[in-house]
Structure 1
Amino acid sequence: MSVQVSFRQVAGVAAVAWSGAFLEWLDFYTYALLAGIVAKVFFPSTDPIASLLASFAALAIGFLFRPLGAIIFGKIGDQFGRKVAFITAMTLMLAGTLGIGLLPGYAEIGILASVGVFLLRIIQGLALGGGYGAAITYLGEFVPEHRRGLFTGFLFTTPAAGMATVGALIWLFSTYLGSQAYNAWGWRLNFIVAGVIVFLIVLVMHLFYKETPVFSMLKAVRRVTSAPIREVFSRRYLPLVLLAWIGVVGAHGPIWYTNQLFNTYYIGPNFQKYVDAATASALLSTATYAALWMYPLFGYISDKIGRKPVLLLGIYGNALWFPIAFWLIDQFGPQKNLTALWLLFWSMTLFNGIGYSGAMSAFLLELFPARIRLSAVSLAYNLGYGVTGGLTPFVITWLYSMNHNIYLSTLIWSTAVPMVMALWYLLKGPETLGVRIWAEFSAEKFAKKTVTLPATTPIREVVSRLLQAGSKYAVLTGSVVGVFGTRSLLRALSSGASLDEPAEKYATKVPCIQADHPVTEVFVALEQYNVRAVPICRGNEVVGIVEARDLINEALALRSALRKKVALRFTAADAAPRELISVGPETTLKEAVDTMVKYDIGFLPVVEGGKLLGVISESDIMKLVGKGADFNAPVSAYMNEKPITINKQATLRDAAELMVKYNIRHLPVVEDGRVVAVLSVKDIVKVIG
């Protein structure tokens, strides 16, 4: 398991993440740009503004349910995986989109049609609320640290590209079918085509793509949270979520949706009537395509100069441009000057590429720790763009219904509100550039103090120092770094070594992992060198050691077994190895050591006639060496005569309770007073996962 992923792997993941996110937005915004037609089909009214408000309300409810989707799928993603959350959300989006495309209108089923649209928009909102945050996290945890803004900037082109593609499809279908046929039934093709393509992407991702390295590491070191939502709303992280929502994402939400959606309503037949709806969609889609390069560009710039200056430029620069841009639209609109209108639309979409660039995604990813990253990113993102941003058409239309001035209504919501909200980020917001999202998985985070001695130190002295420190492993330094532990001592004793020999001869040579390197390198070393501990260095200085049992968090695994139902379904005998390795009471200590070395084990039952007399472990052997015990004496003279045991039919939960209570790692399994197996912590962990 390695942190480094190839460019080919990153490119493949980026392509699927981009495609999946793009199609989710394509599905979601198909409704947004067809709201005018949907209003007539599902919300007929004698008052066109009232009908449009009803349609916008259905649009808004999809946005309002995005935070709930973020909570639901955030929990799924932080507990079961980013990929699982992404695929599940995309499947749900497929159902919502096809549903709207196939739903009969008000003329056929009456009020049920209106209710059906609201329900399907809720499904879409839930799906997008979880899916896009999962896509951001899925890609962001794959890409190189120093290019996070650039790579995720490409992902952030998907909302604009999705909306632009919807606009292009509207123009294509309406032109081919004619406005009458398109308004009657052709609009449904947009929903059906978008929905079917999503299905293909879901299949590709399910079959070919793996979980992110970060989440895989969370599982490996048992740091997956059992309550991500509770942590997100804790005193520690809630202020960060609120900062991201109100000061950054929420401040940019009205700006983005004014640039990317409401400007088409502004110039279209619903308000100023400068152009028809198809022309407005065409102006926006082509301008958006022409501005997509800004998203990765300013993501790349944020990789160089920081996230904060780019985001503030995207918010304040764009908000201050609106009064000028819409004033110019009102000058050129009555003249039907499509070139001028296109250039003004293009200027807006260019600004979107600044505020909604890779700087935004990188900022969110870097603001939160891995264990709650998906939940926190999804919630902050969807509160900002889903609630604050998604309300844009509804709020502006509502303001217009009261003051009948569309220019003023637009500026109140899209200029004044964002500038006030962004003050929090301007004054208190952190700069996250340089935050390594792998930092919480650096090797030093898992290291503990260790005994460090010269490689020439005699075995006897190494054992003495280990006993004094209450440790099982010492790091020996010299031309090559080595680890001397209880198994090393067993090998030395089995080979007949003198305790005055240098310990380096029996130490395992293991590379020292640098403290700031990912802990995945420790996993690789543990497996490659078949050791149970790896030294950690800063430069050439040993600063600690990582033990396998701590890395996989055996203690946490045992405690989790107490809560898992699976621990009740298996007995101690089910999980224990079938082969019982034991020694008799007359076996010498030296012979017991030879048996441990032969089978590479650290625990032996002492048995006579099948009856358990006692046990002896590798830790006991180390203590006996420290005491100068006679290794030619029988093991019965030194064994633990009162071991903790467990009945063959007892559950794994019972076994875990005993191990936690007595702080032990092995349990002899007995039946009618006879020992039949030995159950270890590893055996329990293997079964319960």
Structure 2
Amino acid sequence: MAQAQAPGTREPSEKEIRLVIGASSAGTIFEWYDFFIYGTLAYILKDAFYATDNETLGLLLVWSTFAVGFAFRPLGAILFGFLGDRLGRKYTFLVTVTLMGIATAGVGLIPTVDTIGMAAPIIVILLRIIQGLALGGEYGGAAIYVAEHAPPEKRGYYTSYIQASVAGGFVLSIIVVLACRFLIPADAFAAWGWRVPFLLSLILLAISLWMRLKLSESPVFQAMKAAGETSGNPFIESFTYPGNPKRIFVALFGITGILTTIWYTAFFSGMSFLRGPMHVDDRTVEWVLLVSGLIVMSFYVIVGKWSDRIGRKKPIIIGAALTLALLFPLFWAMGSLANPGLAKAAERTPIVVSGPACVTDPFAELFQREQTDCGKILETLTASGVPYTLRMDSALSLTAGGEPIAIDPAWFADGATRRAGIHAALAPYGFDFAKQQPSIANILGIIGVLLALGMLSALTYGSVAALLSEMFPPKIRYSSMSIPYHIGAGYLGGFLPLIAGVIVASTGNIYSGLWYTWGVVAFGLVVAWWGIPDGPPKDFADE
């Protein structure tokens, strides 16, 4: 079905299209900034909102709350997809950006757990739910709005700016955090300065609303409305329209499942990996992510434009296949560059833990279960980035290079004492747990690894807005593309930091969480090969 034009309307000019792309992209940047600032400041929020001295549990609780927002994205997709297909694209994503800005600012106003107790994390969860609902309507609205303004031969290029804007939101969150760190002393930033990036969302909201209010409705929606062809119930029709169930399945697993797990592995897993087990200085991590993120933004535009010539399927297939081959080697390389001393010490002096009931229970404290002494040692070693070999025995013991290490009973009083004790015991064997400042050469190498991960993300994400817009009929397009996209992004991607963290905490292998990404991408590659249309890009056509 070619894109119809409403009577009395005209094709938008180049200037108008630039405004459409600029306003939609800016709003997307701001809205994803609001969503990502929580993840960027996760290492601080775990102390502000969760009362635990268990570093692993604290981070898992933060990622759990992070995942709550994603869990509600599909509901937002259903709600705002319905409104977008019934009432219009423009006003729907005006509502979503307003909700997101208000909810994000609210996080910056919540008293800490020390002040109001368990009410603090409960309020955070409620605000994350609102954010998730809003984000469920944002991406589909912005992507479709640009796609329905773009000429078919430039649709991949124009919509790629929306994809780049998602990365732009992450980059903006890092820029704001770095600026706050520069202007606010470290102690003050940890005490109250972290609230500033959240409150800043009110200013971004005002800018976004000002830009988006200048926009007119999508010409495709105007044409449908003028012809009386809008959907009566977009949600129901999304699952009953001929061929749509297959398209939704492909969009969920063969497109979104691939892109979202690669994206969150590249950005959030990379950030957590460097800050956590690799012990890299926080500011260094933020600068590395900022530089790589700024460069990676251009990759999405390049891939989107490329897809206008070769089709949407090839970049996704290439990106997914390369991910399966390169994911583990890239993270191994990043680990050796970020903290080479830790890897060398572990190779030179293997750590062996022996004892009864040597299993970790990451949520033992949360559910008031008793963690075994051996499990506590394993948890601390994993959080510290120390690989170990596990042996079952009747007595608890810890050795380094075959030499026994005395286990102090005081280690089991609390997590901080145990962490300090184990770090001190392993220090003579070359294990350095101080904040790391890699050499310039190593930093450049880490940036190179992140750029490689970013390219994998761009290959699987750069053309997706155009592809999804072309896969579904215009009258139910907002709902049909938003529902599978946000189920995939909400559950397969949004829960990735939590799932990967649990896998790492349970196995003791800091790289084992990557298997989740590998598995989702492997399945998605099969579905994409089977279900994504071959050949050059084309408008939706009835089957």
Q: Give TM class, smaller chain.
A: 0.7 to 0.9
- Structure 1 197/61 Cα, relative in aligned 2: closer, same or farther at 3 Å? same
| One-letter amino acid matched to 1:406 | I
For 1:365-416, what per-residue CA distance to the aligned partner results, in whole angstroms no more than 9, with x for missing partners? 0000001101111112212222211111101101011101111222x01223
Q: Which residue of 1 aligns with 2:284?
A: 279
Residue segments in structure 1 that go unaligned for 5+ positions in a row: 441-689
- Hey, which bits of structure 1, 4+ residues long, moved more than 6 A? none
- The structure in which a higher percent of residues are helix is 2
SS in 2 for 1:156: helix
Q: How far did 1:232 drift?
A: 1.2
For 1:593-631, what per-residue CA distance to the aligned partner results, in whole angstroms no more than 9, with x for missing partners? xxxxxxxxxxxxxxxxxxxxxxxxxxxxxxxxxxxxxxx
SS in 2 for 1:223: coil
Q: Which one of 389, 392, 406 corresponds to residue 510 of structure 2?
A: 406
| One-letter amino acid matched to 1:292 | M
Q: Which residue of 2 aligns with 1:544?
A: none
Matched, 1:420 2:520: no
For 1:421-472, what per-residue CA distance to the aligned partner results, in whole angstroms no more than 9, with x for missing partners? 22111123323743225x68xxxxxxxxxxxxxxxxxxxxxxxxxxxxxxxx
- The structure in which a higher percent of residues are strand is 1
Between the aligned partners of 1:134 and 1:280, the Cα distance in structure 2 is 33
Between the aligned partners of 1:329 and 1:150, the Cα distance in structure 2 is 31
Q: CA RMSD in A?
A: 1.5
Contact 2:500 2:512 in 1 (8 A): no
Between the aligned partners of 1:339 and 1:301, the Cα distance in structure 2 is 28
Q: Which one of 227, 237, 244 corresponds to residue 231 of structure 1?
A: 237
Q: How far did 1:313 drift?
A: 1.5
Q: Which one of 349, 371, 383 corresponds to residue 475 of structure 2?
A: 371
Q: Which one of 297, 317, 328 corresponds to residue 302 of structure 2?
A: 297
TM-score (norm 1): 0.61
Matched, 1:429 2:536: no
Contact 1:367 1:432 in 2 (8 A): no
Q: Which residue of 1 aligns with 2:152?
A: 145
Between the aligned partners of 2:15 and 2:533, the Cα distance in structure 1 is 33
Q: Which one of 328, 335, 348 corresponds to residue 453 of structure 2?
A: 348
Q: Which residue of 2 aligns with 1:118?
A: 125
Q: How far did 1:4 drift?
A: 1.8
| One-letter amino acid matched to 1:370 | P
| One-letter amino acid matched to 2:179 | L
Q: Which one of 253, 260, 275 corresponds to residue 246 of structure 1?
A: 253
Contact 1:29 1:163 in 2 (8 A): yes
Between the aligned partners of 2:531 and 2:118, the Cα distance in structure 1 is 49
SS in 2 for 1:407: coil
Matched, 1:103 2:110: yes
Q: Which residue of 2 aligns with 1:333?
A: 338
Between the aligned partners of 1:432 and 1:231, the Cα distance in structure 2 is 27
| One-letter amino acid matched to 1:328 | A
Q: How far did 1:2 drift?
A: 3.7
Q: Which residue of 2 aligns with 1:156?
A: 163
Q: How far did 1:36 drift?
A: 1.5
Where does 1:198-237 land on structure 2 (aligned, <5 Å)?
Answer: 198-206=205-213, 208-234=214-240, 236=242, 237=244
Between the aligned partners of 1:66 and 1:94, the Cα distance in structure 2 is 16
Contact 1:320 1:415 in 2 (8 A): no
Q: Which has the larger Rg? A: 1
Matched, 1:172 2:179: yes
Between the aligned partners of 2:295 and 2:219, the Cα distance in structure 1 is 34
- Structure 1 235/376 Cα, relative in aligned 2: closer, same or farther at 3 Å? closer
Between the aligned partners of 1:328 and 1:204, the Cα distance in structure 2 is 43
Tell me how many residue pairs correspond in the alignment.
434
Q: Which residue of 2 aligns with 1:189?
A: 196
Contact 1:306 1:433 in 2 (8 A): yes
Contact 2:310 2:535 in 1 (8 A): no
Q: Which residue of 2 aligns with 1:664?
A: none
Percent identity, aligned pairs only, is 29
Q: How far did 1:3 drift?
A: 4.9
Where does 1:354-365 land on structure 2 (aligned, <5 Å)?
Answer: 354-357=459-462, 359-365=463-469
Q: Which residue of 2 aligns with 1:320?
A: 325
SS in 1 for 2:53: coil
Residue segments in structure 2 that go unaligned for 5+ positions in a row: 1-7, 341-437
Between the aligned partners of 2:27 and 2:498, the Cα distance in structure 1 is 28
For 1:510-537, what per-residue CA distance to the aligned partner results, in whole angstroms no more than 9, with x for missing partners? xxxxxxxxxxxxxxxxxxxxxxxxxxxx
Q: How far did 1:9 drift?
A: 0.9
Q: Which residue of 2 aligns with 1:383?
A: 487
Q: How far did 1:235 drift?
A: 6.4
Contact 2:174 2:286 in 1 (8 A): yes
Between the aligned partners of 1:161 and 1:432, the Cα distance in structure 2 is 30
Between the aligned partners of 1:257 and 1:113, the Cα distance in structure 2 is 26
Q: Which residue of 1 aligns with 2:404?
A: none
Between the aligned partners of 2:216 and 2:296, the Cα distance in structure 1 is 32
Contact 1:311 1:354 in 2 (8 A): yes
SS in 2 for 1:4: coil
Q: How far did 1:323 drift?
A: 1.3
Q: Which residue of 2 aligns with 1:392?
A: 496
Q: Which residue of 2 aligns with 1:309?
A: 314
TM-score (norm 2): 0.78
| One-letter amino acid matched to 1:374 | Y
Between the aligned partners of 2:336 and 2:13, the Cα distance in structure 1 is 53
Between the aligned partners of 1:390 and 1:3, the Cα distance in structure 2 is 40
Between the aligned partners of 2:167 and 2:455, the Cα distance in structure 1 is 11
Between the aligned partners of 1:413 and 1:143, the Cα distance in structure 2 is 36
Q: How far did 1:126 drift?
A: 0.5
Between the aligned partners of 1:432 and 1:35, the Cα distance in structure 2 is 43
For 1:135-170, what per-residue CA distance to the aligned partner results, in whole angstroms no more than 9, with x for missing partners? 101111001111000000111101111101211221
For 1:60-106, what per-residue CA distance to the aligned partner results, in whole angstroms no more than 9, with x for missing partners? 01111111110000001000000011100011101110110111111
Q: How far did 1:278 drift?
A: 2.7
